[in-house]
Structure 1
Amino acid sequence: MTVRIGTIAAMAALAACGQLEEVGKTPALTQPSGGNEHFAMTAGAVPGQRAVPQNSPSLWTGGRTSLLGDRRAAQRGDIMTVVIEIDESAQINNRSQRGRSGSQSAGVGSLMGLETVIEDILPGDGSLADAVELNSESDFSGSGSIRRAEKLTLRVAATVLEVMPNGALRIEGTQEVRVNNEVRVLLVSGFVRPGDVTRQNEITYDKIASARISYGGRGHITAMQAPRYGQQVADVILPF
């Protein structure tokens, strides 16, 4: 019995090793580099994108610092404003029910006269008329419900880190605000098309491909809201 309990505990500990690495850490975001969208951006040009000659004749100078120049972020090191306005809600209800029953019976009516001999051998009133009879029945019922609501309104400056071969821009922006002993951290990254950047040099979050948005914090309040490390370890290891 002791060996069996020890084996179960060892198996539970091995299964929890991967989760123990996340104790005391925030969930990691998936890196967009190397994904399908990143591969598509490096493979070819974005439809509708054309290079504009820099020295084309014009009555006005085409410089970015001129009165009519395009001052939207387009080069590495440029800065744009990302507008995050998330107001979403979802409600899902699901219920399923399943039932099945079956019955099988088989008998030996005639077996070259041997059925009479066998019935004489069977105890009591045994008979081969109903030699085999099987019955089965199963029933299943399940239900689930999800209800979620999110609302977030933020603005953050993001920097162009790289101009992709197809003209798309890889951006990333971070922002930290400290109030007393609490730091609120905002992170946004992804890929944008230059044509989606408005004349005000802004872009909304729903136009960012492979968007990664993180809004959290660190400090006394966050530490008080999180379970202690010992409790997190116990929740991972204990099987019951």
Structure 2
Amino acid sequence: MKLLIKLLPVLLLGACASSQQKPIADDPYYAPVYPDDNSTPLVPTGSIFTNNRATPLFSDLKAHRIGDIVTIQLVESTQAKKSAGNQISKGSNLTVNPLTAAGSNVTIKGKSLDLGYSDSMDTTRSADTDQSNSLSGEISANVIQVLGNGNLVVRGEKWITINNGDEFIRITGIVRPQDITTENTVQSPRVANARIQYSGTGTFADSQKVGWLTKFFMSDWWPF
């Protein structure tokens, strides 16, 4: 009990810190990225053609510059299963026959003097874990950086307000231009270093969370 009282301020501070990290809409980190001014720069060649703004006549309109938008198709499905079991058994048995003397059993208070002992131990443990996740949908993201090798760094989010809560999807990662289809889409498994976050805020999301005291009893800090 004394230990719990000492840890109470720490737990309260931790709860306050976690509440300050809740996701918010219009996060500056996920703000849209706009391209530079489209005004045609003056070049000494005397031509109106510029390579940095040119689009080949027979090419598809794919995202390839900062500020362009690419649609990411969420096709995520994971499944993991693990099982383990062990069994330990041990037993021992010891018996001493009645003691005899002069051809008859040695008795104490009319009972033969003998000894018998036996014990056994049997321990069986098993564990089975099965987890699966699935996520599908689409989200559009901005190109925020073009790397030296031509790969595109993309980032975007989508917020949906439903009844008393908000649901959001966020994604960041690196996309190869070759993986972008003619419809300007790319599947999420082809996004390198992808960070996909799907969660919610509000009353419904808070009802699925456990309290800080329950977290303490389920943590390694609980000594029992």
Q: TM-score scaled to structure 1, two decimals?
A: 0.55
Amino acid at match of 1:173: G
- Mapped to 2, the partners of 1:141 and 1:88 lie a distance apart of 31
Aligned partner (choices 146, 153, 170) of residue 187 of structure 1: 170
Structure 2 match to 1:94: 84
- Mapped to 1, the partners of 2:148 and 2:78 lie a distance apart of 34
C-alpha spacing 1:197/1:175, structure 2 compared with 1 (3 Å): same
**CA shift at 1:192, angstroms?**
1.2
What CA deviation, in whole Å up to 9, does each residue of 1:9-36 have, x standing for no partner?
6997899799767644569xxxxxxxxx
C-alpha spacing 1:87/1:164, structure 2 compared with 1 (3 Å): same
Structure 1 match to 2:153: 170
- Mapped to 2, the partners of 1:234 and 1:143 lie a distance apart of 23
Amino acid at match of 2:66: R
Kept after mapping to 2: 8 A contact 1:160/1:171:
yes
Kept after mapping to 2: 8 A contact 1:20/1:233:
no
Aligned partner (choices 77, 86, 89) of residue 67 of structure 2: 77
3-state SS, counterpart of residue 225 of structure 1 = coil
Number of equivalent positions: 167
Kept after mapping to 2: 8 A contact 1:23/1:232:
no
- Mapped to 1, the partners of 2:137 and 2:148 lie a distance apart of 30
Amino acid at match of 1:183: D
Q: Does 1:150 align with 2:133?
A: yes
Amino acid at match of 2:198: Y
Amino acid at match of 2:223: P
**CA shift at 1:183, angstroms?**
0.6
What CA deviation, in whole Å up to 9, does each residue of 1:85-127 have, x standing for no partner?
2233332223356799xxxxxxxxxxxxxxxxxxxxxxxxxxx
Amino acid at match of 1:147: D
Higher relative contact order, structure no. (Cα contacts within 8 Å, ≥ 6 residues apart): 1
C-alpha spacing 1:17/1:95, structure 2 compared with 1 (3 Å): farther
Structure 2 match to 1:224: 207
C-alpha spacing 1:71/1:213, structure 2 compared with 1 (3 Å): same
- Mapped to 2, the partners of 1:79 and 1:191 lie a distance apart of 13
- Mapped to 2, the partners of 1:17 and 1:161 lie a distance apart of 38
CA RMSD of superposed structures (Å): 3.9
C-alpha spacing 1:94/1:228, structure 2 compared with 1 (3 Å): closer
Structure 2 match to 1:200: 183
- Where do residues 11-50 of structure 1 align in structure 2 (5 Å cutoff)? 23-24=18-19
- Mapped to 1, the partners of 2:149 and 2:123 lie a distance apart of 53
Equivalent pairs: percent with the same residue?
24
